[in-house]
Amino acid sequence: MEIYSAEATSSRGSVRVDGRGDLAYPVGEPSGDGTADALNPERLYAAALATCLHQSLTIAATSLDVEPAESVVTAKATLSHQDGGYELSAAVDIYLPGAATDDLYDTVTREALRLCPLVGAEVSVKFDRDRGLALQNHRGPADPGQN
């Protein structure tokens, strides 16, 4: 049973989402210094992974009676040059203040990783448990990246 489908078309210099002119974004290659003004595949993948994993985290937390309201997922996509080709990897940090114990945090995050269809064998995703647990004790704004 299909839940949702979206289509994006990339052409020179832009990507258009679902054929809508108002959802056309400029795209470009990342520069050698890691900066980019336009969107690029790595930025798009990081956004997709963070969003997908956050939705999976919400589903997992809710099913395990953990409050997901203040949760935050950060994904970092990295493009590397490997053996004449390229490799995409990702690292994620998960902030889930509703998990009262480390065991509950681990259970929810493992289930979220299992549920997220963008996490798989094709692109390695490293979960930084220590950073996630450090964020767990964060007592600042809802977005721990802002501190």
Contacts of 45 (CB under 8 A, 6+ apart): 77, 88, 90, 123
Per-residue pLDDT reduced to its tens digit, 39-93? 788 888 888 999 999 999 999 999 999 999 989 898 888 888 888 888 888 888 8
Q: CA nearest 57: which of 3, 109, 132?
A: 109
User: What global pTM score does this model have?
Assistant: 0.75
The amino acid at residue 16 is R
pLDDT of residue 10: 73
Per-residue pLDDT reduced to its tens digit, 15-51? 888 777 677 777 877 666 656 567 788 888 888 999 9
* HEC sequence for 31-70: CCCCCCCCECHHHHHHHHHHHHHHHHHHHHHHHCCCCCCC
The amino acid at residue 95 is Y
